[in-house]
Structure 1
Amino acid sequence: MAANFVSSILARAAAQPQQTLLAWPAAAGPARTYTGHDLAQRVAGYRQALAGQGVRPGQRVLLLLPVGFELICALLAVLAQGGAAVLPPAGVSAGGLLRLVRRGRVAVAIGPRPLRGPLGWLVRGLGPKWLAASRLPAGPFPLQPPQLVPPGQAALISHSSGSTGPPKQVVRSHQVLLAQHAVLKQIFPPRAGQRDFPLFPNVLLHNLSAGIASVLPALSWADLPGLDPARLVRQLAAEQVHTLTGNVFYFQRLLPALRAWPGGFPAVAGLGVGGSPVPERLLRDLQQVFAGAAVHAIYGSSEAEPIAVRQFTAGAPADPRGGYRVGPVQPSLACRLLPCGELLLPGPLRAAVGEITVRGPHVATAAADGWLRTGDFGYFDAAGELWLTGRQGNAALHQGVQHYQLEHVLQHLPGIGRVAARAAVGGFVVYFEGPATEAAIRQVLAAQFPPGLVTAIHRRPRLPVDQRHHSKIRYDQLR
């Protein structure tokens, strides 16, 4: 049966032309708002330009626009035209882009301005046509229904965070995007007049599908570490946001400014933290700041978002020695572990640990049997909830312990910033940021883990992290 993920988005935009769907921050002054009419017209303009370039269903279009309204409209237009939108990896180099063009069968590339100079000659020499967003006419344009395509046809091609090596290409079909939207709608039902503050692109697409207004954070997606916490907190309060999402790095940077804001945030009803394992301490701190909100830890991967969601309960915190508790696996997914050993847990208890694999409607995988190997390791507790204990490339057990267990415990020690435990011969080597002392670290470890588990401890000015979330440790780069 033919389908197109953007059908509901464009139908809603046409039916409610005056509804504000997006509020994008300006460099100064109030945010620029975009209505359903604005969205539908700009998408129609991009579709006309794509048709003029001969883009046919199934062809790939590389999007080289900065994160903003133009990127969203271009992406929706590519999907509506039946094409597959290709997003480059975070922090990709010029050479990486050229390799992506050459190997990715890109028919058209869309950038902000006309392409000139040696790079322009090289890109054109590799085959794709170039479409400059600044050259699109203003309209008005006739609105056309989206091109119907097979549900399994590629719609969105993005890349993983690259925390265990080079970023992997992730191909989401129309049916995967539709299924992901359905799962998010079930877990987090939309509310009338809802205003969301999304950091994750998949949440923004979900909001457009559900008719939820998205207030975009005032930051540069190309430079997340450069965010201004005070500005973001002022924006969060002024815009009367009801829900928000973000990664661990983002919320840890915001916490001091959130705590200092007078009057709190009574409008906020819910928030979600994901992108990497979420420390119990961060969930507790966010619950204190947003006292009236439901605080969730969200676990997923680039290919399967979400896999599990857990609502934090202040009266029943998870023991960090057990790893990261992420909650029950979504009912629409099948989940199994590929066993690799036995864990020693608080109690002392023992549990079979293995690589987490999932299969289901919102899982993007090229495997013939439909199973996705996530590269994450964990176990199920007696209540059937999933815990994370390790990551591919660093999953070796020592004395029944994996590295996430050590890291999660140490994240609760004052004076510790980022921390990593890398499996080595005979035990773990710990790396950390912050003013904590080696003696304090060894005292905590001795009280909670078997003796001799950690062979060395090193302080570093900065630990290597992924370029997208700035939250996942690059264990292969630890020195």
Structure 2
Amino acid sequence: MVYSVNSSNSDKTVADNYLDKRDKKNNSSAPSSYKNVDKLAQQANRQANRRQQKQQLENSDPGKAPGKQIKSASISAENNVARLLVEQAMRQPESPAMILPGQAPIKFGHLLAHAAMWQKELLLSYKPGDRIVLLVLPGIELYSLLLAILASGMSVVFIDPSMGKLKMLRAIKRSKAKAIISYQRLLKYKIFVPDLWMIDCISIDQSPWSKLTPADDKQQPAIVPVAREFSALISWTSGTTGNPKGAIRQHLHLQAQHMALHNHWHEHPGEVVLSGMPVMALHFMVCGCCTLPPDIDLSNPQADAEKVVRQIREHRVRRIISFPALLERLAKTLEAQNTVIPGVAYIGIGGSPVSQKLCMRLEKVFPLARVEVVYGSTEAEPIAFVTASDWLSEFPSQGYLVGRPVSETLLAIVPTETQLKSGEQVLQASLGTNQLGEILVCGRHVLNGYLNDVKATAENKLFCDNGFCWHKTGDTGYLDARGRLWLTGREKQRVFSDGRMVDVYPIESEAENLPGIARAILVQQSARKYPLMVLESENKNIPQASISLLEQLLIRTGFADARVLVHPSIPMDSRHHSKVDRKAILQWSKTHPKR
């Protein structure tokens, strides 16, 4: 069945061969505010039989072993996360949904009309449960296509371009996508890639789709009923090492994530938010906010944030949600101008460890803003928050303070050596106050698996009998006496010293607070090699006094044999330009002498 969100009638049609007696009973309670509106959507829905539903459920719940798939699924338009955005947009069709650099604001009504236009084209060839890869830049095309695909009961596949061509192709193949939507400059190479020959490649700039225009701004996409466990978004990332993993966000995860963020941030319709994260932009639009992508190329180390500063002033931005890389550029630009921006009320920093120096700089150039560190990951967002003022009050630090876990997250610290077999064992093995171990999280917004990747799911998930799962973050840390979470490192980035494995964040964070040191990274080739402390200076030269204090720190922490190197510009990840590429540092260190 397909329902529209603006109807007061209760007209309902049961799809042929789609629901058995169990599901008919569940669907009998479908909300009366929905009715069938689109013949193409109805036709696609009738084609969705029991076999397709089973396939969707199995793909949506990869963490469970064969035979343990969801036993019952209630199919309803209420479960479709796209409904939240459509309803919000219909309440404020004339309000701006986003503002692209150099363009007029895009209204919510215009976004809906574009989504309805794309949906009609999609339903001519694809059905609920199909996966569609989106390789489109942030803008009206990206977000209207995202809304159209979700509303149609299909799954959106995002692939991180920074993982490289081979890994991207591997991710596309493993996604078993029915189509790729992108630009002709990328899709024209399909003929040379056999893995793409059986996948529809749709160009939005040089194909019949590029000539489509909405009939009017009063249209909206129909909402296809889904089970809340159906896949909504599949995000392929690989970090700096390893094979790509497709993290599955089900409709229930996106709705739970939205509520967890909104319960903390309390956004108001009409607020302008600067953010370049597609999933976060979706959340803010559901809240009725206007999203503003930052006008900057973070891959260019020389690019300043002058254009972003103008965006913030011109559009009266109230909130900024971003990675440290952008906020560092913003702080540097405003410091060089010897000016401040008092109009910003909130800044959220996430994506990598956040130094006290950055928090201090942001509080100076945004004097009226509440600055917070947001701790989370692709698999669990959010986990915890901490204000910059709380973080700055801790000196010397014992790692990176990320604050108290949000109420929607159940968090446990377990010994890193413990081999747990099920989710029920997590709380039994959890450690007490100030005891260091691996961080595990559980909650409705915590993702429960990776697409077609039993190994990755088994390595990172512990399932409970009640259907929830614990996610192993790979981060190490502890809870202090005030219930606040401290990060002390990554389990796979520990270094060896005096017969023990040591977390690096407490040493790195203390070193970064020394004058003249922008970054400090402690790495090691292997347990048989001496550790390396790699520094990046703030102004080309590091004061000798800071070097002396650093040497004392290394001696005090058991790393008297560490070699100190100065890197001209410590390499960062190509995705967010905020996480240190430790593998690249080790490679670089082989050809450079110690200080």
> Could you say whether these structures have the same fold, taking a TM-score greater than 0.5 normalized by the shorter chain as the test?
yes
Q: What is the aligned counterpart of 2:522 among 415, 421, 428?
A: 421
Q: Compute the displacement of 1:441 (Å).
A: 3.0
Q: Match of 1:51, as an amino acid? A: L
Higher mean C-alpha displacement, 457-466 vs 301-310: 457-466
Give the Cα separation in 2 of the matches to 1:418 and 1:144.
48
Alignment of 1:384 onto 2:461: no
Name 1:336's counterpart in structure 2.
412
Query: What SS is found at the alignment partner of 1:143?
Result: coil
Structure 1's unaligned 5+ residue stretches are: 342-349
Name 1:345's counterpart in structure 2.
none
Deviations 1:139-194 (A, max 9, x none): 21753421111111111111346045444321111110000100111100013531
- Indicate if the aligned counterparts of 1:154 and 1:172 stay in contact, CA closer than 8 A: yes
- Indicate if the aligned counterparts of 1:10 and 1:40 stay in contact, CA closer than 8 A: yes
Deviations 1:410-430 (A, max 9, x none): 111222223211255387421
Give the Cα separation in 2 of the matches to 1:61 and 1:383.
46
Alignment of 1:353 onto 2:430: no
Q: Compute the displacement of 1:93 (Å).
A: 3.0
- Indicate if the aligned counterparts of 1:55 and 1:81 stay in contact, CA closer than 8 A: no
Q: Match of 1:105, as an amino acid? A: K
C-alpha change, 1:165 and 1:439, in structure 2 (3 Å) is farther
Name 2:359's counterpart in structure 1.
283
- Indicate if the aligned counterparts of 2:534 and 2:564 stay in contact, CA closer than 8 A: yes
C-alpha change, 1:414 and 1:160, in structure 2 (3 Å) is farther
Give the Cα separation in 2 of the matches to 1:47 and 1:225.
39
Q: Which has the higher strand share?
A: 1
- Indicate if the aligned counterparts of 1:161 and 1:466 stay in contact, CA closer than 8 A: no
- Indicate if the aligned counterparts of 1:115 and 1:130 stay in contact, CA closer than 8 A: no
- Indicate if the aligned counterparts of 2:152 and 2:222 stay in contact, CA closer than 8 A: no
Q: Compute the displacement of 1:338 (Å).
A: 2.1
Q: Compute the displacement of 1:437 (Å).
A: 5.8
Query: What SS is found at the alignment partner of 1:7?
Result: helix
Query: What SS is found at the alignment partner of 2:414?
Result: strand
Name 2:341's counterpart in structure 1.
265
Give the Cα separation in 1 of the matches to 2:495 and 2:557.
17
Q: What is the aligned counterpart of 1:87 among 145, 149, 158?
A: 158
Q: What is the aligned counterpart of 2:108 among 33, 36, 41?
A: 36
Name 1:322's counterpart in structure 2.
398
State the TM-score, normalizing by the size of structure 1.
0.90
- Indicate if the aligned counterparts of 1:356 and 1:373 stay in contact, CA closer than 8 A: yes
Give the Cα separation in 2 of the matches to 1:38 and 1:169.
31
- Indicate if the aligned counterparts of 1:420 and 1:431 stay in contact, CA closer than 8 A: yes
Alignment of 1:363 onto 2:446: yes
Give the Cα separation in 1 of the matches to 2:392 and 2:544.
30
Name 1:475's counterpart in structure 2.
582
Give the Cα separation in 2 of the matches to 1:158 and 1:315.
31
Higher mean C-alpha displacement, 450-459 vs 70-79: 450-459
- Indicate if the aligned counterparts of 1:90 and 1:161 stay in contact, CA closer than 8 A: no
- Indicate if the aligned counterparts of 2:411 and 2:441 stay in contact, CA closer than 8 A: yes
Give the Cα separation in 2 of the matches to 1:238 and 1:319.
38
Identity between Structure 1 and Structure 2 (%): 29
Name 1:51's counterpart in structure 2.
123
- Indicate if the aligned counterparts of 1:300 and 1:308 stay in contact, CA closer than 8 A: yes
Name 1:203's counterpart in structure 2.
280
Give the Cα separation in 2 of the matches to 1:123 and 1:381.
54
Deviations 1:231-278 (A, max 9, x none): 111221121111111111111122122234566322211111111011
Q: Compute the displacement of 1:82 (Å).
A: 0.8
Structure 1 stretches of 4+ with a deviation exceeding 6 A read none
Q: Compute the displacement of 1:213 (Å).
A: 1.2
Alignment of 1:215 onto 2:286: no
Higher mean C-alpha displacement, 236-245 vs 11-20: 11-20
Alignment of 1:189 onto 2:266: yes
Q: Compute the RMSD of aligned alpha carbons.
A: 2.5
Structure 2's unaligned 5+ residue stretches are: 1-73, 418-432, 450-460, 587-595
Name 2:178's counterpart in structure 1.
107
Q: Match of 1:417, as an amino acid? A: A
Q: What is the aligned counterpart of 2:132 among 56, 61, 70?
A: 61
Name 1:374's counterpart in structure 2.
473
Give the Cα separation in 2 of the matches to 1:448 and 1:122.
51
- Indicate if the aligned counterparts of 1:359 and 1:371 stay in contact, CA closer than 8 A: yes
Q: Compute the displacement of 1:438 (Å).
A: 7.3
Q: Match of 1:413, as an amino acid? A: L
